[in-house]
Amino acid sequence: MKLFQRFLMFCLCIVSSCVFADAYCSLRDPVAQIKQLYPNKTNQLSIVKEIDNRARIQVQAELPNNDLHFGELGRHTLYVAMNNDEALGYIHVRSEQSQWGLVEIIWAIDKNYRITNFAFQRCRSPKKKLLNNQAFKNMFIGKDFTQLKQYLSEDGVTANKVLIAKAVSAPELANVILRCALKTLLLTKLIWHNDLHSL
């Protein structure tokens, strides 16, 4: 009997860890958070898709030094902000590893796969407030994957001098945000393009 109880506890631990792992790339309060990024929205759709090893290989090809961790694979949700029957844009939450733990960022993306806004959902960096301003956000707003990729320095991992100049005293966090933005735009187009095109 004790052996069965231990086995049951082990299974519960595995299931709960999977549940928490999925939560890292989901909105905590979708209705309120989407309304904040898209004030004109009347409703929203959610499209759940699998990010698998094939997507990981494609990310490696496009961003050679920015791999997807195996923990980032699995089912992920893309939200579509709607104004009645019209799609206003997309919301994708992604996590990026940092020296302060996982940084979760909510990205608002237009129908041409350009950043329109972003907000931190979870970030333990003491320098978060330094980058949560319009001057820094404007470096991302209106830009697509190709344009943002130009902010990468030669190592393909860190931001170049142009972006770092706007990062005040938080270059490490700026690097995290840039990597997260690039992966978000790339994966949104790779994984959800067919579904979004049908809208």
Instruction: Say how far apart CA 97 and CA 105 lie, in whole Å.
Output: 11
44 found inside a domain: yes
* Domain range enclosing 76: 26-198
149 found inside a domain: yes
What's the domain count of the chain?
1
For the chain, 199 residues long, give each residue's pLDDT as a single digit of tens.
544 444 333 333 333 333 334 444 567 778 888 988 999 999 999 999 998 888 888 888 898 887 776 667 789 999 999 999 999 999 999 989 889 888 999 999 999 999 999 999 999 999 999 898 899 999 999 999 999 999 999 998 999 999 999 998 999 999 999 999 999 999 999 999 999 988 7
* CA distance readout (Å), 159 to 82, 85, 117, 118, 171: 34, 39, 19, 18, 8
18 found inside a domain: no
183 found inside a domain: yes
Strand 86-98 with 101-109, pairing: antiparallel
pTM: 0.84
Instruction: Say how far apart CA 71 and CA 24 lie, in whole Å.
Output: 10
**Ramachandran angles phi, psi of 167, nearest 5°:** -90, 10
17 found inside a domain: no
Strand 74-83 with 86-98, pairing: antiparallel
Residues 137 and 64 sit within 8 Å (Cβ to Cβ): no
Residues 6+ apart with CB under 8 A from 102: 24, 95, 96, 122
- For residue 21, what pLDDT is reported? 40
Instruction: Say how far apart CA 19 and CA 30 lie, in whole Å.
Output: 17
3-state secondary structure (DSSP) of residue 38: coil
* Residue carrying structure tokens 């490696």: 60
Q: Determine the residue type at 82.
A: M
10 found inside a domain: no
4 found inside a domain: no
2 found inside a domain: no
**Ramachandran angles phi, psi of 191, nearest 5°:** -90, -40
* CA distance readout (Å), 96 to 6, 154, 175: 34, 20, 10
Q: What is the DSSP letter of 73?
A: -
